[in-house]
Amino acid sequence: MRIAELLSLAVIASTSLAAADEVCNLILAKSLSFCSMVDYVAVTGADDLTGAAADADAATYYASVEKILDRFGCSTKYSLYNCDDCRDAYKYWVCAVQFQRCGGSGQSATAICPSVANGCDPFRTRTCLSICEDVIRKCPYVLNFACPAEDTEYFSSDLANCNRLDRTRNPDNPDLGWPGTFASS
């Protein structure tokens, strides 16, 4: 198995906590050091109410991709995009996966809480598949990044109901629009 496949599986596996271990908590914009664009009620571990541990995990996954890109040699043009585009797309994807939005019962979601006690909404809004596809589009082949071919428990192609972070600007570089099919001026 290639490094990128391991990274992809590790991120998805980290979101697969048992229902009793998950709660919904408000994560405010810029309250996280890495996933600063998260600004919504997100699924977190019961022992990670601020999301700091999930944020650190996202930064670790990102650092692994950075190492691969450094070895790749980003001075070589590999497509219409460059390694900075790849980094932005991967960061967006890893944060969307690490911080899945808590959604409403009318949405296509996965139950995560046994009850609605303590303000916990019992549904997880799945991450948009197009965010994953953007990584494939913008990253070099050496990552061998793969996305699910169809909707899964954690990913959805339903643009009206999937988590796309609702961002149009990159908080780390305001002059750069967010990568993906959802970016608009």
Position 19 confidence tier, pLDDT thresholds 50, 70, 90: low
Q: Which amino acid is at 90?
A: Y
Q: Is the pLDDT of residue 181 over 80?
A: no
pLDDT at 139: 93
Contact 90, 65 (CB under 8 A): yes
> Pick from 42, 62, 185: which is nearest to 126 by CA?
42
Structure tokens at 171: 């908080």
- How confident is the model over 24-34, as a mean pLDDT? 91
Position 10 confidence tier, pLDDT thresholds 50, 70, 90: very low
Position 106 confidence tier, pLDDT thresholds 50, 70, 90: very low
C-alpha to C-alpha distance for 117 and 123, rounded to whole angstroms: 13
Burial class for 97, CB neighbours closer than 10 Å (0-12, 13-18, 19+): buried
Q: Is the pLDDT of residue 160 over 90?
A: no
Q: Is the pLDDT of residue 14 over 50?
A: no
pTM over 0.85: no
Q: Which amino acid is at 23?
A: V
Contact 167, 128 (CB under 8 A): no
Position 166 confidence tier, pLDDT thresholds 50, 70, 90: low
Q: In the chain, what percentage of residues exceed pLDDT 90?
A: 29
Q: What value does the mean pLDDT of the chain take?
A: 75
